[in-house]
Chain A
Amino acid sequence: MVEPAERTSALQGCLADLLLDQDGHSLFGADPAAFGAARQLHMEDQAALAHYKSRLLTYRSLVRSALEDPLPDCFPFTHALLEKAGQWAACVDAFLGSRSIQSSYYRDVNPAFVAWLAQSGWGQDRWPFLLQLAHYEYIEVEILRWPDEAPQVDLGALPKADLYVVFDGTVRNLAYAYAVQDASGGNPEPDAGETYLLAYRDGAGDFQASTLSPHASAFLARCLEGERVGEAARALGLPLEDGLELLWSLHAKGAVLGFR
């Protein structure tokens, strides 16, 4: 437990407000001393804020610059969309202002961004697909980095009705209301339409996403939940042969490790 160091804590809290709050720039820029006074800083510390006004504002720019790499790298189409609309900076500002970045792992900025979009609804009145687009973009990064698993033993290579399916740990059975997989830098606005995807990392370590029918997606969901192949097909009225063929194909691609 750290002993109270009230002055140090107050100074750090004040700078955090300047860096993160959406109105931090305007409030601090207008009157740094008053900004400090509102946060109960000592008089001499208020004066120091005023003395270093422009340089402290530089830190605000640096915090935003630190997001320029991870966010557009992970969310290239979301970034392209918002940048084109002149809203990227506002989005980053609102994200920072929410104080949603809590982990000290830099990589956790990306899932925090998706979680913030989901929680805040930011931008989704204008771009109702925004959260789903960002989610799909993040899934690719998550899958590519997903921890490797120890090799499974005693798995069969042939799907059968009475066997369980052992999926690769990177497999994500996804459902969207937009064709997010068709988005691109030139056309980042996906068309509306129910979309079912099975995303995974293949044997070569590359990201793959297979488009599924609604039935196939439901069948795989049941298999992922631990139902036997035959039970899953029967529950959905799906011909067993179709299910076996799908699983065989996914096994060949590396999404399914085998059958037990």
Chain B
Amino acid sequence: MTPSGTPSGTPFSGVGVGLRRPHLAQVAALKASPVPFWEIAPENVVGQGGTRHRQVMQILERDPVLTHGLSMSMGGFDAWERDVLDNLRGFLKATQSPWHSEHLCWSSFGGANTHELLPMPFTREAVQHSILRTRQLQAELPVPFLFENVSYYAELGAAEMSEKQFLAEVLEGADCGWLLDINNVYVNSRNHSFDAKEWLEGMPLHRVQQLHIAGHAWFEEDQLVIDTHGAPVIDPVIELMQWVLPRIGRAVPVLLERDNDIPALEELLAERAALQKAYDVALDPLSVSGPGSGGSSRG
């Protein structure tokens, strides 16, 4: 069972990589894609030109791509920016991305954009607001919409429910797909002292269409794990990915995100290859690293 409007079978599987500026020239010069797919933020491409833009377009014409938005403020109150939506629609049609994803959070208020992924209140009112906004956004897009669970460092206001309940209710109420960010689950589990696997067990995993995986960092001063996307993925997060994949029961694509301290392409591709092995092991029914074993392909 998949959410209504969500494609049940797409060619996207395996571990892809977020396409980033420092790698554009090198990737564009390759004869074939070094990854099963890339992920790209449409807002960083539309309405642009010049050398880097041409490199991006070369890559998008050659390789499969998924799209992922960064700053739609889908849980906010500001009106949708019409030109942004028009550009997004055009980009999604041109790239034939099978879906588009955004974060379930807010970024702007009163017209001022913080460009930060800010937490929703975990309240019944915010559930209804998020459902409404998700449906509005879905109605604007030519492809199914997925939302992503974010890292949150604080609850905004007095919670009436858990984050888990909040997300599940929005997913069901909006009847949309889920981009499960496995690193965000891990980061939240560390910062809010819960068990990540228990958290995942009760969630509507049938709605998961894609996974994100990334590195994070511990900040002593803040006593917080911050979702930096600035380091390699650590073993416990890989193990969590391996744990959840068989429970999803489909070879959904996993995307490796790296946005800070971006390494050389070769290094990033080596990390991708290691994640791909872990992915393959997790989805192999004969593997000892199947459900319940808690195995990892890394040390």
Contact = CB atoms under 8 A, between A and B. Distances in A.
A7 B121 contact: yes
A102 B54 contact: no
A55 B222 contact: yes
Interface stretch (B102-110, B195-203, B284-292): B102-110
Contacts of A92: none
B137 to A, nearest CB: 11
A154 interface: no
Interface string A133-145: 0000000000011
A12 B108 CA distance: 9
B116 A99 contact: no
A15 B119 CA distance: 10
B157 A102 contact: no
Interface string B172-198: 000000000000000000000000000
A13 B126 contact: no
Interface in A193-236: 201, 205
Give the residue among B50, B76, B81, B118 with the most A Cβ atoms within 10 A.
B50
Given A2-B132, A99-B110, A146-B50, A55 B118 contact: no
Interface residues of B, number: 51
Nearest to A146: B49
Given A12-B109, A58-B224, A201-B50, A104 B71 contact: yes
B190 to A, nearest CB: 13
A55 B136 CA distance: 31
A52 interface: yes
A148 B112 contact: no
Contacts of B123: 7-8
Interface in A47-67: 47-49, 52, 54-56, 58-59, 61-63, 66-67
A167 to B, nearest CB: 15
B218 interface: no
B113 A145 contact: no
A104 B115 CA distance: 7
A13 B109 contact: yes
Interface stretch (B30-38, B92-100, B148-156, B237-245): B148-156
B129 interface: yes
B126 A5 contact: yes
Interface stretch (A105-113, A124-132, A171-179): A105-113
A58 B132 contact: no
B111 interface: yes
A145 B132 contact: no
A16 interface: yes
A153 to B, nearest CB: 19
B157 A16 contact: no
A34 interface: no
B113 A102 contact: yes
Interface string B65-77: 0000011110011
B112 A102 contact: yes
A171 to B, nearest CB: 14
Contact of A20 (B114, B120, B128, B158): B114
Interface residues of A, number: 49
Contacts, number: 149
A19 interface: yes
Contacts of B52: 144-145
A101 interface: yes
A100 B114 CA distance: 10
Give the residue among A16, A101, A104, A148 with the most B Cβ atoms within 10 A.
A104
Nearest to A201: B50
Interface string A13-29: 10110011000000000
A8 B129 contact: yes
B125 interface: yes
B132 A66 contact: no
Nearest to A7: B125
Nearest to A70: B115
Top 3 A-B pairs ranked by shortest CB distance?
A205-B51, A99-B112, A52-B154
20 contacts: A2-B136, A5-B125, A7-B121, A8-B125, A11-B157, A16-B109, A19-B116, A48-B156, A52-B154, A58-B222, A66-B116, A67-B115, A99-B112, A100-B112, A101-B114, A104-B43, A104-B81, A144-B52, A146-B49, A205-B51
